[in-house]
Structure 1
Amino acid sequence: MSNEFQDFQDMGPVDYLVIEFPGNRMTGKGMSLLLDLVDRGIVRILDFTFVRKDTDGSVIALELRDLDADGELDLSVFEGSSSGLLGQDDLDEAGMALEPGNSAGVLVYENLWAAPLARELRRSGAQLVAGGRIPVQALLASLDAAEAEGGSAAA
C-alpha cells in the first residue's frame, strides 16, 4: 500500500461513480468542475479510468489518450490517477451497468470535506455501518407526490 494511504484512519469516506457516455461520446463537459473540487480540497481522486462495452458485451479498459481522437478532450490532467483500488473485476462490474456500444468513466474519490468528522468518529469508537445515495429523480418524485397530496415539502 502506498504511503499516501497508510494512515487510513485520517481518510474521509470513499465513494465511486460510473458515468455512462452513450455512443462513446465524451465531450469533457463537467471535467473542469471535477478539477475545481480537487483544487478546493473537497475531493481527492483515487482512481479514474474509462471502459467501453462493445456490442458483443465485452468490456475493455481505455487509455486516456484513446479518448482524445479529435484533440478537443484533454484528459491528460487525470493521467496517473490510479491507486490500484480498481481491478478487472470492478471494471467488469461497471461494464454490466452499461448498454453495449457505450463507454463510461469510473471514478473513485475520497470526500476530503468529511475527513475531520470521520477521523473524530473513528477515534471515539464509532463506525459507519450503512450508507447510500438517494437518486435526484427519486427525491423529486417524492416531493412531487407530497405536493400532489396537498402537503408542504418545506418544514
Structure 2
Amino acid sequence: MSDEPNEPGPIDYLVIEFPGSRMTGEGLPLLVDLVDRGIIRVLDLIFVRKDSDGSIRGVELADLAGDDRLDLTVFEGASSGLLGRDEIDDAGKVLEPGSSAAVLVYENVWAGPLAAALRRGGARLVAGGRIPVQEILASLDAAENSA
C-alpha cells in the first residue's frame, strides 16, 4: 500500500429526466449499490422541476420522498458545492415542461488508484470522452441488420 493520499477519480454528471415528473425509484437501489461497493461516490444530487409555464426550480429531497416508495434520505446532504442556481437553470433547459430531473455529480472512485498508478509509471491521459448510448445502440442495430 502507498502512503500517498487517495487521488480522486474522474468526476462525471448525469441529468436524468422523469417525464411527467413520475419517479418510481426503480434505479435507486442500483445507485446505492454502486456507492456501497465503492465504485462511485455521490458528490451532489439535486432535483429540478420544469413547470408547464416553463419556469424552472430546484426541488428539495424531502418534497420527493413522501410517498413511502421513493426513499431518498440516504442522499440527504450530498452537496459538494459544485451545483448552484446556474446548473439548475442549465438542467431545466433540457427538460420538457411538466417534467423533473435528477442531477447527479459523482466521482468514479474505482479510477483514482488506476490513474495514480499509471502516473507513477510515467503514463499520462491524452484524451478521453464518452460515446452516447444512443450511438452504441444504433451501431449495434446496424451491425445486426447487415448480418
TM-score by length of 2: 0.87
CA distance in 2, matches of 1:107, 1:42: 15
What is the CA–CA distance in structure 2 between the aligned matches of 1:87 and 1:120, rounded to whole Å? 34
Equivalences for 1:74-153 in 2 at 5 Å? 74-123=71-120, 124=122, 126-135=124-133, 137-150=134-147
Q: Give deviations 1:83-119, integer Å, cap 9, x for gaps.
A: 0011211111111110011000000001111111122
Contact 2:48 2:92 in 1 (8 A): yes
Work out the CA distance in 1 between the residues paired with 2:146 and 2:75.
47
Q: One-letter code of the match for 1:112? A: V
User: What is aligned with 1:29?
Assistant: 26
Amino acid at match of 1:115: G
Q: Distance in 1 between matches of 2:67 and 2:89?
A: 27
Any stretches of 5+ residues in structure 2 without a counterpart?
Answer: none
Letter in 2 for 1:114: A
Q: Is the 8 A contact 1:11 1:119 kept in 2?
A: no
Structure 1 residues not aligned, in runs of 5+ = 1-6, 151-155
Alpha carbons of structure 1 residues 82 and 101: separation in structure 2 relative to 1, 3 Å? same
Task: Name the % identity.
Answer: 62
CA RMSD in angstroms comes to 1.8
Contact in 1 for aligned 2:35/2:42 (Cα 8 Å): yes
Contact 2:8 2:109 in 1 (8 A): yes
Runs of 4+, deviation exceeding 4 Å:
none
The residue identity in structure 1 corresponding to 2:129 is G
Whether the aligned pair in 1 keeps the contact of 2:65 and 2:73 (CA below 8 Å) is no
What is the aligned partner in structure 2 of residue 72 from structure 1?
Answer: 69
